[in-house]
Amino acid sequence: MRTRTSRLAFTLIELLVVIAIIAILIALLVPAVQRVREAANQTHCLNNLKQLGLAMHTYEIAYKFFPPAGDYPPGGTGDCWSVQAQVLPFVEQQNLQRLCNFSQSYSVQGTVTQFRVDLYQCPTEVNSKQRPTSTVTHHPLNYAVNLGSWMVYNPLVGAGGDGAFASGLRLRAGAFTDGMSSTLGLAEVKAFTPYLRDSGNPSSWVSPPPTNPASIGAFGGSFKADSGHTEWVDARVHQTGFTTVFGPNTVVPYLNGGISYDIDFNSSREGTTLNRPTCAAVTARSYHPSLVNVWLMDGSARGVHNSISLSTWQALGTRANNDLVAGY
């Protein structure tokens, strides 16, 4: 009698075939999973912008004006609280707002500054972490307010620029003569952005904005490698604002120590001098492929592709410049 033995294992060829099939399936599935994940992140991000934008309008209903981007007194210096800090009660952060003493600098209120506001961070942010300083610990943010086209603060009169929000100005709906549907309110920025600051150049608030990103480094200043947009409490443009000097995700190159950085620029930090204007090239950036998400002052939110014309982007950045915004 012959006995039949059953085979209990794969042959080498069969095993290799199975491995090859699995590899093909993974190669097909990974991009699909990544697309699904990015779509979910995109939706989450847009929802964050809509909630924050709704808070801006709720603030305006309550106080009859939109929150100013700081209140630096003419001829005075000091720190000012951000728009994002002022709207805390309207993003379900009443308890945190009660901890804020707005009559004092945030730099001595570590209980507040170290608090992470989840709504202010995009799920795609790769540097969602604390930033300790010598006095307090800060948390970053990814949604910045539109502070205009270039000049964002004139200390001689204590007033800001031509964006949807401005230092020292309590803007009402009627101030948006270009139309709220044609004015940016919020846009994404990246946390821990390197930037140049305090060169004093340009020295005039009527100086025209630069047109070449590579020319920014010529303004000079103190280089900070990784602290832009890391303080959600600070009203200064390099922390909680953006400008429309350059289009979405434009690379602004700067070489330091043999390393090339993509930087922002602030000629003089608001509230630090009595007579030097603040001109700023603070670019809207995101980790979403080829776009940044924005919120418009009419309450809508959408993605804006990197390919938008610079003239259209800059027209969206002003509230009352008689600009005509074409389709984008």
Burial of 168 (0-12, 13-18, 19+ CB in 10 A): buried
What are the phi and psi torsion angles at 265 (to 5°)? -145, 135
The answer to whether the bond into 202 is cis (omega within 30° of 0) is: yes
Please report the sign of the dihedral spanned by the C-alpha atoms of residue 26, residue 31, residue 32, residue 38: positive
Give the span between the Cα atoms of 211 and 281, in whole angstroms: 10
Q: What integer pLDDT is reported at residue 153 of this predicted model?
A: 95
Give the span between the Cα atoms of 39 and 47, in whole angstroms: 12
- 289: tokens are 């492929």
Q: Quick: pLDDT tens for 143-191.
A: 999 999 999 999 998 889 999 999 999 999 999 999 999 999 999 999 9
What value, to the nearest 5°, has the Cα angle with vertex 45 and ends 41 and 48? 140
Give the span between the Cα atoms of 112 and 233, in whole angstroms: 8
- List C-alpha distances in Å: 31 to 23, 175, 287: 13, 46, 17
Q: Quick: pLDDT tens for 19-57.
A: 888 888 777 776 765 777 888 899 999 999 999 999 999
Q: Residue ranges of the domains in the chain?
A: 40-316
pLDDT of residue 5 exceeding 70, the answer is no
CA proximity to 320, closest of 183, 205, 140: 183
Neighbours of 86 (CB within 10 A): 23
What value, to the nearest 5°, has the Cα angle with vertex 312 and ends 308 and 314? 110
Q: What integer pLDDT is reported at residue 1 of this predicted model?
A: 47
Provide the b/e sequence for 257-272 (b: ≥16 CB within 10 Å).
eeeebbbbbbbbbbbb
Q: What integer pLDDT is reported at residue 97 of this predicted model?
A: 96
